[in-house]
């Protein structure tokens, strides 16, 4: 039953992502080893959204390491079904850190058995494009798993999750699976284990940067960030990455030019095109307001949107038909009403991108 639930959620988010994002471009799926244990190491800019995107686009089932405070209670069955394991941090209490020993022991066993794990190598999630300094956790886990299972093949696959916008729906997404790192190549007897793990971490960090539009935070970072606009994110990954690095891309789109001198008109239009979907937008806004961390906003939207928007469209279609439908064909009338509401939602999203970000 849990395996069935896992696959339902996996494919639900696979298709939902293609509605939430304007374009989903996936690169490097052929880089994922078909055999052996694989530790996927993505950057972490989208909270819950990140593991859902990475896991739903690969054919192999993946066990994810997740912050411990979301476990327990009535949702524990679902966490188990989604192949999630808790990771305890110092904020969860110093005594709880010992619990990680059994978790990591299980993870090493999973990798040694030729299965897959996902672990975020950055210290924490964040709301910027650059890669934070990697912790040693994922490199140590893969290295120790290889030591314990010397006959097994164990790899680390770097993953780059590149959002056209971190909070606004209908942006572009570039999901990049990089070249795998064979952990056996870092078993150098001339070095200590600590030195080998550091070399593995440095190699992973370099390969992850190759999978990200803007890999580093430097003096040009905020100027480069301005180039991440819809006009540019429709480019292929390498073309966009190279253009950002050279500074050869525009920093303002067509819509931004039109409304740059009319910000008030833009706000009025956004409000007008919000009216047809005011109730689901209001519900999502109220739920989002409960999260202090902005990184969770897109996760809330992609989880709630596929449920409340169709219910709203269907309900409003029935209601308007009862009031104005008359002798019109019911199905055609409802489809027309829903099409207009969906169109207004996407126009609203386009207008949001026309704001100066």
pLDDT digits (tens, 9 = 90+) for 206-245: 999 999 999 999 999 999 999 999 999 999 999 999 999 9
Q: Check residue 103 and give its pLDDT.
A: 86
**How far is the CA of 314 from the CAs of 52, 259, 308, 310, 331, in angstroms?**
27, 33, 10, 6, 11
**Looking at domain 2-215, what is its CATH homologous superfamily?**
Glycerol-3-phosphate (1)-acyltransferase (3.40.1130.10)
Per-residue pLDDT at 84: 79
Per residue in 130-186, pLDDT (tens digit) is: 999 999 999 999 999 999 999 999 999 999 999 999 999 999 999 999 999 999 999
pTM, two decimal places: 0.91
User: What's the CA gap between 225 and 65, in Å, rounded?
Assistant: 30
Select the more confidently predicted residue: 65 or 181. Answer: 181
pLDDT class of 357 with cuts at 50, 70, 90: low
Confidence check: pLDDT of 75 > 90: no
Confidence of residue 65 (pLDDT cuts 50, 70, 90): confident
**Domain ranges, ordered by start, for the chain:** 2-215, 254-353
Whole-angstrom Cα distance, residue 137 to residue 48?
Answer: 19
């Amino acid at each position: 039953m849990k395996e069935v639930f896992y696959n339902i959620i996996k494919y639900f988010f696979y298709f939902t992502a293609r509605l939430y994002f304007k374009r989903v471009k996936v690169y490097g799926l052929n880089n994922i080893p078909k055999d052996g244990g694989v530790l996927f190491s993505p950057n972490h800019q989208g909270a819950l959204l990140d593991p859902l995107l990475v896991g739903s686009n690969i054919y192999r089932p993946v066990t994810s390491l997740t912050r411990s405070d979301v476990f327990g209670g009535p949702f524990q069955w679902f966490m188990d079904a989604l192949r999630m394991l808790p990771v305890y941090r110092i904020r969860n209490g110093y005594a709880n850190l010992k619990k990680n020993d059994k978790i990591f022991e299980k993870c090493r066993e999973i990798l040694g058995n030729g299965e897959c794990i996902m672990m975020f190598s950055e210290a924490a999630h964040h709301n910027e494009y650059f890669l934070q300094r990697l912790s040693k956790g994922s490199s140590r886990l893969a290295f120790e798993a290889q030591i314990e299972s010397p006959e097994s093949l164990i790899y680390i696959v770097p993953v780059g999750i590149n959002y056209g916008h971190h909070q606004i729906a209908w942006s572009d997404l570039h999901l990049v699976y990089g070249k795998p790192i064979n952990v056996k190549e870092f078993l150098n007897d001339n070095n200590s284990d600590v030195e080998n793990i550091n070399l593995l971490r440095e190699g992973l960090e370099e390969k992850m940067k190759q999978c990200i539009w803007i890999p580093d935070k430097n003096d040009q970072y905020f100027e480069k960030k301005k180039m991440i606009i819809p006009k540019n994110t429709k480019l292929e990954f390498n073309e966009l990455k190279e253009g950002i690095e050279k500074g050869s891309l525009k920093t303002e789109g067509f819509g931004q030019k039109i409304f740059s001198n009319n910000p008030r008109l833009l706000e009025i239009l956004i409000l007008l095109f919000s009216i047809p979907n005011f109730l689901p937008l209001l519900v999502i806004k109220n739920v989002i307001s409960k999260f202090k961390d902005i990184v969770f906003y897109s996760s809330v939207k992609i989880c709630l949107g596929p449920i409340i928007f169709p219910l709203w469209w269907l309900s409003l279609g029935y209601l308007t038909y009862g009031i104005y439908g008359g002798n019109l064909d019911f199905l055609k009338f409802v489809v027309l009403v829903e099409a207009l509401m969906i169109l207004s939602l996407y126009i609203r999203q386009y207008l949001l991108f026309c704001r100066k970000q």
